[in-house]
Chains A and B, each alone.
Chain A
Amino acid sequence: MSYFNFLMKFGYRNIWREPKRALIMILSLSLGTAYILWILNFAEAGSKEVIKEFLSQYSGSYQYTHPDYYPAGNTKKFNAFATISAAEIPSEQKINAIPRVVAPVFISGNKKTLGVLLNGTLPEEELSLSKLNSSVKYGRFLDPKNSNEIIIGQSLANKIDAQIGDEVALIGQALDGSVANDLFKVVGLLDFGGGDLEDSLSFTTLFSAQNFFVMNSDQYHQYVNFDMERPAPASSTLRVTTWHQLLPEISVSIRFIDGFTKIVCIVVVIVISLGLSNTLMISFLERQKEFEALNIIGASRWWILGTLIIEVFILGTVALLIGLVLGHIFTIINFYYPINLELFTNGKPMFLGGMLIHPYVKIFPVAKYYWQVSLLIYLFLILSMIYPSYKIMNRGKNAV
């Protein structure tokens, strides 16, 4: 214990031989640590908020369908004949979920006919669980008491030349084998910021859609769940499709952003390590004569290296603790004062998957990043010591 205490005392005092240099090293390492921790927390929260914002508008987190609803697993194609009933859905999965009828139809306005995806849904549930209502910029949302009302995208309305109050004709494949066709009254126009979804989505009430496709009242295509926190459960009888499978391009983008953030963090750590390595090098070389004297007295080169490692680790640990506390404080500040991502786009709207989103990122601490950042900093402390240590060991050898 006495020997260990002596080593620690020796290492600690050596750090403060050059107080300004030690403070600069601690400051750079702690600010780097704080930045990395904050940016990782920000990226995690940002991804979650962006995904939440995007998914809560329409897609939901995951959905139950008949196993054959997406032919061969292709989520861009729909088999309208593959339906499910409410009884097939586990009761706990009906909470935070909206049953929908979703199938392709042709829509005709005054000018032309185009293909769209008709969504039959429950307006009250959409109002409480999704943000679809907030995307209706003109007209109003669906009234559950009225039948054959439709909401379409603003861009689609322009293309087929349909205004609010106009009737549009829908033609599709009914489940009884007949041709489904009916007139629907446009009551609202969706504004997704001009994105792709404005051309391809239309919404009516569940009842109207079931009537249109000649389905009974307990026949649905999808049970869309909006629970963003829990993972999708497995099902032996139904197909469970997550948003990652439904929107693979969004999933890839988010993963790219996460990966990129981590690369940026590693680059920051490398840059700090190089600076640290250089400072350590100067500090060690200044003490070269002292090391030689220590070696003459009887301290082995490994002992000398050991004391240097202790110095760097004491310094690194102090800086790391300060950095983690600072990073945590910054994170908590942005928990109470969320960051508007539009700050990074000069106030211009953000699009994701053809949808306009307005995310406010409430940053929250993510436990795993605290130990991951600590390990990363220690790893790079070791790396930053390699070259100075190599020089010390080699010089010692030459001197002896």
Chain B
Amino acid sequence: MQFELKNVSKIYETGQENITYGAKDVTLTIKEGDFTALVGPSGSGKTTLLNLIAGLLIPTKGEILHKGESITHMSLEERTTHRLDYMGFVFQDYQLLPVLTAYENVEFPLQLKKIPKQEIKERVLWALEQVGLSQLKDRFPKQLSGGQQQRVSIARAIACRPSLILADEPTANLDSKTSQEIIDLFKKLNSEHNLTFIFSTHDQRLIDQVKTVLYINDGQIAEVKEHQ
């Protein structure tokens, strides 16, 4: 068992007596090898749920555990280190550092972890090979297409060999052909390396190809759909 959300609620106070639920009594278990999409209309609470799992938000109620250890009670800096150690992130707008090459962007979290130089090199080259960008490793983000940038972002996420990869609308900025390529890449990484993915998405292609779909509404898991 990897990540566990126990009766997690997140309340946003939007006015003096107005409160909104970003998440409401969510109980969820994320297991190794899961390939799950969070689906729902805008404002339904998908991103809140992702942020809670990532430790970017603290739940108002309930508890989030990783390997039995509570993330909820960690300090800000401890949660940051926890993310670095156990999570990878893929963003809608890639969030690559423009001053670093593809290689250096993938290298970045490994440097933060102060991994030995030789191991960094091996991991970066492995990650870039997985996303098919070995030949373009010396290019800066502005010299890459949107799809290529998202591949670098994925390589950066997998280079640390995380327990969980959180992807927020990873195909939203891509055309349909590139989106499919990226989805195929996610599937390959999930099946070949048993990497765990949680997506927040509106993309029907991605929704159709994940193993589990969690339909979120008003901060609650309204429906769970398993794909064969």
* Shortest beta-carbon distance from B153 to chain A in Å: 10
Bound Cα distance A26, B41 (Å):
49
> Is B35 an interface residue, CB under 8 A from the partner?
no
Please report whether the interface of chain A is mostly helix, strand, loop or mixed according to DSSP. helix
> Is B186 an interface residue, CB under 8 A from the partner?
no
Bound Cα distance A144, B54 (Å):
99
- Bitwise, A287-299 to B at CB < 8 A (1) or not (0) is 0011001111111
Known: A297-B109, A400-B76. A17 touches B83 (CB 8 A): no
Known: A293-B91, A298-B80, A300-B77. A14 touches B54 (CB 8 A): no
* Shortest beta-carbon distance from A343 to chain B in Å: 48
Residue of B nearest to A299 (CB): B112
Interface size class of A (residues with CB under 8 A): 20 to 34
Known: A296-B56, A298-B80, A299-B80. A6 touches B95 (CB 8 A): no
Taking CB atoms, residues of chain A closer than 8 Å to B2 are none
> Is A235 an interface residue, CB under 8 A from the partner?
no
Interface residues of B in 24-78 (CB under 8 A from A): 54, 56, 76-77
* Shortest beta-carbon distance from B90 to chain A in Å: 11
* Shortest beta-carbon distance from B82 to chain A in Å: 9
* Shortest beta-carbon distance from A153 to chain B in Å: 73
> Is A236 an interface residue, CB under 8 A from the partner?
no
> Is B187 an interface residue, CB under 8 A from the partner?
no
Residue of A nearest to B57 (CB): A400
Interface residues of B in 104-128 (CB under 8 A from A): 104, 107-109, 111-114, 116-117, 120
Interface size class of B (residues with CB under 8 A): 20 to 34
* Shortest beta-carbon distance from B121 to chain A in Å: 10
Residue from B95, B112, B116 in contact with A303 in the complex, judged by beta carbons closer than 8 Å: B112
Taking CB atoms, residues of chain B closer than 8 Å to A297 are 83-84, 89, 95, 108-109, 112, 156
> Is B97 an interface residue, CB under 8 A from the partner?
yes
Taking CB atoms, residues of chain B closer than 8 Å to A303 are 112
Given contacts A13-B99, A297-B84, A302-B77, 17 further A-B contacts (CB under 8 A): A3-B114, A6-B111, A9-B104, A10-B97, A10-B99, A14-B99, A16-B99, A290-B95, A293-B91, A294-B97, A298-B109, A298-B113, A300-B81, A303-B112, A397-B76, A400-B79, A400-B80
| Across the A-B interface, the 3 shortest Cβ-Cβ residue pairs | A298-B84, A13-B99, A293-B95
Binding site for A on B (CB under 8 A): 54, 56, 76-77, 79-81, 83-85, 87, 89, 91, 95, 97-100, 104, 107-109, 111-114, 116-117, 120, 156
A-B contact pairs, 14 of them (CB 8 A): A2-B120, A3-B111, A10-B100, A13-B100, A16-B99, A293-B91, A294-B97, A297-B112, A298-B83, A298-B109, A298-B112, A299-B84, A400-B56, A400-B79
